[in-house]
């Protein structure tokens, strides 16, 4: 199946490692031009260099999503540099943590406002596309009780509701909005590698809850994001796609 991604223009936040990196790689390998950001200059440069092998436009920038002004300026500049924007993937998260209000504000500003501000800044460009697509990255920790009553879980849940309601208003202008909610995903340099080192019991009990007996991979999430972002998913709007190998136990009607 041809996903129809060749020549499309994608903007992805947080694409130097993990899920975001695989999304960027996969979209580039399908022929998309890419603009991405992250905070560490060295990793932005390394990622941009590595992705040049796909022979598409690659623009990496050092941007902190929490810096609202710089973030908005980067998004608008990226759409201009690419010559438009067909796909927006706000992938950055502040991650989990139980540091009281500090965690709540961090997740609010980075996970939620990073996504809201991104959609608002890029909507004019997305509406110019012949099929704009936004894919939010939430988590299964938003849909089932997980670990602790963390800001991360609750704020990621807010993203799912926002995506659904936004999708009702944007499709009239040919912009679809969907969410992908991954279960635990293991990769080198990622949070589950850290958890494995710091708390092997938690890591092992999480793997034991996986029907497959293993963690998911960034590639397995990226493939679902690429489909939802593509013209091949033209009639998919407002869904929350759980990508967890059956990790969550609820029955989803
Ligand atoms: N890993 C999992 O098990 C899992 C499970 C469910 C959902 N998710 C979700 O998937 C998404 C990606 O997570 P991940 O675990 O693959 O990767 P990650 O380790 O959270 O890193 C993601 C990327 O974001 C960049 N980044 C982080 N904070 C940033 C900021 N404030 N401004 C700009 N860039 C920033 C990082 O580079 P710099 O550090 O250089 O900025 C990196 O390129 C997140 O939304 C996460 O909540 C992950």
pLDDT digits (tens, 9 = 90+) for 169-201: 999 999 999 999 999 999 999 999 999 999 999
**pLDDT tens per residue across span 70-121:** 999 999 999 999 999 999 999 999 999 999 999 999 999 999 999 999 999 9
Name 179's bridge partners: 136, 240
Q: Where do we find the tokens 């793997």?
A: 207
Q: Distance between CA atoms of 54 and 41, rounded to whole angstroms?
A: 21
16 CA: nearest ligand 1 atom:
43
Contact by Cβ (8 Å): 147, 106 = no
248 assigned to some structural domain: no
Residue of 12, 20, 61 to test ligand 1 pocket, by largest number of atoms within 8 Å of CB: 20
Contact by Cβ (8 Å): 90, 13 = yes
Contact by Cβ (8 Å): 137, 90 = yes
Residue 27: pLDDT over 90? yes
Residue of 11, 14, 20 to test ligand 1 pocket, by largest number of atoms within 8 Å of CB: 14
139 assigned to some structural domain: yes
Structural domain of 49: 9-185+218-234
239 assigned to some structural domain: no
181 assigned to some structural domain: yes
Task: Give the number of domains in the chain.
Answer: 1
Q: How many CB atoms lie within 10 A of CB 239?
A: 17
207 assigned to some structural domain: no
253 assigned to some structural domain: no
Please indicate, yes or no, whether the overall pTM of this predicted structure exceeds 0.85.
yes
Rounded to the nearest angstrom, the gap between the alpha carbon of residue 182 and the centroid of all alpha carbons in its chain is 10
Q: Where do we find the tokens 């694409």?
A: 15
134 assigned to some structural domain: yes
Q: Distance between CA atoms of 181 and 217, rounded to whole angstroms?
A: 13
Q: Distance between CA atoms of 111 and 91, rounded to whole angstroms?
A: 8
- CA–centroid distance, residue 172 to ligand 1 (Å): 31
Residue 252: pLDDT over 90? no
CATH code, domain carrying 101: 3.40.50.720
């Amino acid at each position: 199946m041809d996903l129809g991604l060749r020549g499309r223009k994608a903007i992805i936040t947080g694409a130097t490692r993990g899920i975001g990196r695989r999304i960027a790689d996969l979209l580039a390998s399908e022929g998309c031009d890419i603009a991405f950001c992250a905070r560490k200059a060295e990793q932005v440069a390394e990622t941009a260099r590595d992705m040049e092998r796909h022979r598409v436009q690659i623009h990496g920038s050092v941007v902190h999503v929490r810096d609202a002004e710089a973030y908005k300026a980067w998004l608008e500049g990226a759409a201009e540099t690419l010559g438009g924007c067909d796909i927006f993937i706000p992938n950055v998260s502040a991650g989990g943590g139980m540091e009281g209000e500090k965690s709540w504000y961090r997740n609010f500003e980075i996970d939620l406002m990073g996504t809201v501000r991104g959609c608002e800044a890029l909507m004019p460009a997305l509406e110019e596309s012949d099929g704009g697509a936004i894919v939010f990255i939430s988590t299964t920790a938003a849909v089932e009780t997980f670990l602790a009553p963390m800001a991360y879980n609750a704020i990621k849940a807010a993203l799912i509701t926002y995506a659904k309601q936004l999708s009702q208003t944007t499709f009239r202008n040919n912009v679809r909005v969907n969410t992908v909610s991954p279960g635990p995903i293991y990769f080198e340099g990622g949070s589950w590698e850290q958890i494995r080192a710091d708390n092997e019991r938690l890591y092992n009990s999480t793997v034991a809850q996986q029907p497959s007996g293993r963690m998911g991979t960034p590639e397995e999430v990226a493939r679902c994001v690429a489909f939802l972002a593509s013209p091949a998913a033209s009639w998919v709007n407002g869904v929350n796609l759980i990508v967890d190998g059956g990790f969550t136990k609820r029955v989803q009607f």
